[in-house]
Amino acid sequence: MSPKAKIRKEILMGNQALGRGLVENGVAVMTAYPGTPSSEILPSVVHYGAEMQHPPYCEWSVNEKVAVEVALAAAYTGQRSAVAMKMVGLNVALDPVMSAAYIGVIGGMIIISADDPGPHSSQTEQDSRLLAHFAKLPVFDPDSPAMARDLVGPAFALSERFQIPVMIRPTLRVCHGRQNLNLREPKELERIPVFGRDPFRWAAIPKMRLALHHALNAKLTKIQDYVSKSKSLNQWHAPLRPRAPLGILASGMAAALARDVLDELGLPVAEGKVPFLQTAAPYPLPIGPVSELIAGCRNVLVLEETEPVLELLAPNRDRLWGRASGHVPSAGELTPEVLGEVLERALGQAKLKAPRPRGKVLTVPDQPPMRRPNLCPGCSHRAVFFSLRRALPTGIYPSDIGCYTLGMNQGAVDTCHDMGAAVTFASALSRGLNQGKDATPVVATIGDSTFFHSGTTGLINAVYNGARFVLVILDNETTSMTGMQPTPESGLTADGHPGQAVELKKLVEGCGVRWLTELDPYDMGGLQKTLKKAWRWCQGPEGSVAVIIARHACAAQRPADAVPSPRKVEVKGQAAPAKTSFRPKENPCADCGRCVAICPAGALRRTGKGKIKVDEAKCTGCRLCAAVCPTGTMALEPAGACTACGLCSTWFACPALARDAQGYISIDRGWCVDCGLCAEVCAQGAIAPLEEQK
Amino acid sequence: MSRLKWQAVVAGVGGQGVLFVSRALASAVEHKAGAILISEVHGMAQRGGAVVSHLKAGPFSGPLVSQGQADLVLALDPGEAVRNLGYLLPKGWLVVNAPDLDFLSPKAKKALASFGARVLTVPATALAGQAGTAKGANVVLLGAAAAAGALPVRPGELERAICQGQPPARARANRELLALGAQAAAEV
């Protein structure tokens, strides 16, 4: 035994515990696509796998469908494999997952799909256990990092015994919970991969699939019997008692928190007043113990996240208190507060009095406003979004999933749906909005990792079908939101095995794109010109999809590369707001509408009689209109001092731009990274580099 | 010896070192509590959003603290202190990175005073800034909390938990920050 592999105690995050569990159980192939709350699982397998003589093969796959297929084929060869993703990734992977239940595996395979009740960092609150049920795959539901680790062994055992992939479904509180646990030694299985040719199984045609479906159903019956008899998967925290008015059936994090809340209510499970059955295997339902609980109690409260699974599968549903009966909320996380209310109500209805009502809670008025997440100071995405609004102010901006969704703070994100939808939405929207004389510019933004994940198919579709829009690929050379995982462009692989960089430019060209340029978005002037040029080309006779690759280092991952030449800026002073006014006598208005389009406050409108009308109440005095006026009708000079116009805080939205109660801006040195971009943003010339001010 | 049963809520803004604080507290109290459960925030909230970490030391099952149950609410940002006051036990400690309680509205101040919790305010960012590292405010605040008796461990135990395994220069800097906090707590 190497000294490194000695048994030791560590405080592990749930995702690390899962990674540890996989290494302790001989995983040989591990794949994943990053997504909160699952992202740390694969790096933990890499980390702990280094303790093994033959570390597992690990890869960041390009997307979840690919990840599942790679892990699945490895399991065909008898190796133990695992794949990790967030629950929306399971949707992407559902196609191979569905078939995997029919065809099964040889080596054990675990599909980890991390759910996000809340949701805290996701688009939906979907319950992966329902998809496991839908796909006819057994699923385990851990309540803690320790249980997550401890379920890996039984999951592999079940998977190999019944030749079927097994899902482990941790929720965010398990993934991002931490717990101290004793590490066990890594297991070296040293299985040689063998592919046993069997086209009737691995390449089954529909007729054989029917036979496989019958076989799957028979397997599930046996698995149900197996999980039903398992003592470790079904824990009686409080045993059945005669004529119990209320019992609790629970699974996952809700089971753990409910035990703590019962303790706070003065009804600790150890005292056994309320029979409490927790199952770690919600599907197939452990019918034995569950039926026993329901038969032995007048009513049974079902606590699980996020959808009813136990509740729908259990017998005697008329005696269950859960989502159908309205006892448990049908949306949102089951926090201790929610569980407290649910339990108090159920106990009351069952005529069981909680000895201790829930504690006194300090409630104070005047709560601070919600703190919105924001792009980091110095982030080049911010420069792209500002330039977008500046160059094509009347545009529609479909965007995508990643850090850059936060471009919403700058009013430059109009849609955010699922991975890759920026491209497909742009293609559909541009078709509708391109009609007529005043075509609306459609400019989509998508990150590099998201583009590799699901952007190319939409792009090929758009080019092939003749869509016309501008696509900006925000290439910061990493997967930043989920923790800086490498992208195919880097050529770096998850565990350091040799890989090869995939060039983004060639990939885009390969999708049939004929107008393509690469630039650094820190040059905001150049980017604005390029955006306008790209949109003009889209509208021209030869126009199609124009792609701009905006490449700049991630400010969080490589701060020195993101701000290679720091420029310290300062606000030059304050001036009274000056409202826009027109002087059309000397310089008649051309009625071009540029000022109307650019006005961030929506204070200008065309009268239709060759005039522009100003809504004095809305005008903030930012003077952007004067900056774009080609005739000099608005001959306003920049104030040279901050007029509290709010342009930088609304269109640039940098956390380093602090706004006081009157709206005047100052630089918050705690945040500022001296990127100097805001000096170009300010329409008043009020923010300027210090050296220029001297 | 009866095991420690202790709950804390650590709150702040992305980048302030909230997770460092809850992990440091966890390793400091681990030997007394046996079992440790922590809840962390990752992902989008770390981009400048509110970050909160719960710590439950002792015989607990789940990692989230219930409202009205925290022995300690430690806030690296005054606004986040306000947001998390509801977790306080009536006999709990509020330790906050602020020169005084003036970040509270008069009404909120009154509610806190009548609730009965013990309060420690420390201008930790300013103190850490004077020591040359504003980012060390979290360690200053921890030092103050330990010295004031807001933690179930002695200052020395906290120091060991933070500094063990750190490179000597880093450990020395952290010891200085802890001492600054202790000094500030003594002056209150």
CATH number of domain containing B108: 3.40.920.10
Q: Percent of chain A at pLDDT above 90?
A: 83
- What pLDDT is stored for residue A633 in this prediction? 83
Chain B residue closest in CA terms to A237: B61
Q: Is 60 exceeded by the pLDDT of residue A4?
A: no
Distance CA A122, CA A106 (A): 34
Residue B104 included in any domain = yes
Residue B1 included in any domain = no
Q: Percent of chain A at pLDDT above 70?
A: 97
Total count of domains within chain B: 1
Q: Is 70 exceeded by the pLDDT of residue A581?
A: no
Measured in angstroms, the CA of B170 and the nearest CA of chain A are apart by 22
Contacts of A179 in chain B (CB under 8 A): 35-38, 63
Smallest Cβ distance to B63: which of A173, A255, A670?
A173
Q: Are A604 and A581 in contact (CB under 8 A)?
A: no
- What pLDDT is stored for residue A1 in this prediction? 44
Q: Are A545 and A658 in contact (CB under 8 A)?
A: no
Q: Residue B158: helix, strand or coil by DSSP? A: helix
Give B8's strand partners. Answer: B55, B72
- If one compares A417 and A616, the residue with the highest pLDDT of the two is A417
Q: Are A422 and A560 in contact (CB under 8 A)?
A: no
Q: Which of B40, B51, B133 should we substitute to test contact with A (largest number of A Cβ atoms within 10 Å)? A: B40
**Identity of residue B99:** P
Q: Which superfamily does CATH assign the domain made up of A3-228 to?
A: Thiamin diphosphate (ThDP)-binding fold, Pyr/PP domains (3.40.50.970)
Distance CA A174, CA A159 (A): 22
**Fold of the A234-349 domain:** Rossmann fold (3.40.50)
Chain B residue closest in CA terms to A253: B62
- What pLDDT is stored for residue A151 in this prediction? 98
Confidence of residue A437 (pLDDT cuts 50, 70, 90): low
- What pLDDT is stored for residue A580 in this prediction? 64
Residue B159 included in any domain = yes
| Record: contact B37-A179, CB cut-off 8 A | yes
- The DSSP string of A252-298 is THHHHHHHHHHHHTT--GGG-SS-EEEES--BS--HHHHHHHHHHEE
Distance CA A390, CA A529 (A): 10
Highest mean pLDDT among A443-452, A599-608, A668-677: A443-452
Smallest Cβ distance to B47: which of A260, A370, A403?
A403
Please name which of A451, A474, A469, A478 lies closest in space to residue A384, comparing C-alpha atoms. A474
Q: What is the mean pLDDT of chain A?
A: 94
Contacts of B42 in chain A (CB under 8 A): 36-37, 39-40, 121, 176, 483
Q: Which of A144, A260, A261, A344 should we substitute to test contact with B (largest number of B Cβ atoms within 10 Å)? A: A260
| Record: contact A180-B111, CB cut-off 8 A | no
- What pLDDT is stored for residue A694 in this prediction? 61
Q: Domain A380-562, what architecture?
A: 3-Layer(aba) Sandwich (3.40)
Q: Per residue in A363-378, pLDDT tens?
A: 988 888 888 889 999 9
- What pLDDT is stored for residue A589 in this prediction? 84
Residue B77 included in any domain = yes
Confidence of residue A510 (pLDDT cuts 50, 70, 90): very high
Q: Residue A178: helix, strand or coil by DSSP? A: strand
- Write out the residue range of the structural domain in which residue B31 sits: 6-187
Confidence of residue A509 (pLDDT cuts 50, 70, 90): very high
Dihedral sign for Cα B146, B149, B151, B153, please. positive
Please name which of A471, A470, A489 lies closest in space to residue A553, comparing C-alpha atoms. A489
Q: What is the mean pLDDT of chain B?
A: 93
- If one compares A215 and A2, the residue with the highest pLDDT of the two is A215
| Record: contact A173-B62, CB cut-off 8 A | yes
- What pLDDT is stored for residue A577 in this prediction? 77
| Record: contact A362-B43, CB cut-off 8 A | no
| Record: contact B111-A178, CB cut-off 8 A | no
Q: Per residue in A184-200, pLDDT tens?
A: 999 999 999 999 999 99
Confidence of residue A350 (pLDDT cuts 50, 70, 90): very high
| Record: contact B26-A376, CB cut-off 8 A | no
How many residues does this entry show for chain A?
A: 694
- Angle of helix A64-76 relative to helix A94-103, nearest 10 degrees? 20
The DSSP symbol for A5 reads G
Q: Are A81 and A100 in contact (CB under 8 A)?
A: no
Chain A residue closest in CA terms to B67: A361
- Kind and range of the H or E run holding A32: strand A29-32
User: For A112-116, A502-506, A637-641, which range has the lowest pLDDT when averaged over its residues?
Assistant: A637-641
Q: Per residue in A120-129, pLDDT tens?
A: 989 999 999 9
Chain B residue closest in CA terms to A480: B43
| Record: contact B66-A264, CB cut-off 8 A | yes
- What pLDDT is stored for residue A36 in this prediction? 94
- Does this complex have an ipTM over 0.90? yes
Confidence of residue A502 (pLDDT cuts 50, 70, 90): very high
All structural domains of chain A with their residue ranges = 3-228, 234-349, 380-562
Residues A272-287, mean pLDDT to the nearest whole number: 97
Q: Per residue in A127-139, pLDDT tens?
A: 999 999 999 999 9
User: For A409-423, A446-460, A584-598, B159-173, which range has the lowest pLDDT when averaged over its residues?
Assistant: A584-598
Give B70's strand partners. Answer: B88
What are the contacts of A151-155 at 24+ separation with CB within 8 A? Answer: A151/A21, A151/A280, A152/A18, A152/A21, A152/A22, A152/A24, A152/A25, A152/A110, A153/A21, A153/A24, A153/A25, A154/A230, A154/A232, A154/A233, A155/A108, A155/A110
| Record: contact B83-A406, CB cut-off 8 A | no
Phi, psi of B104 (to 5 degrees): -90, 145
Smallest Cβ distance to A371: which of B13, B61, B85?
B13
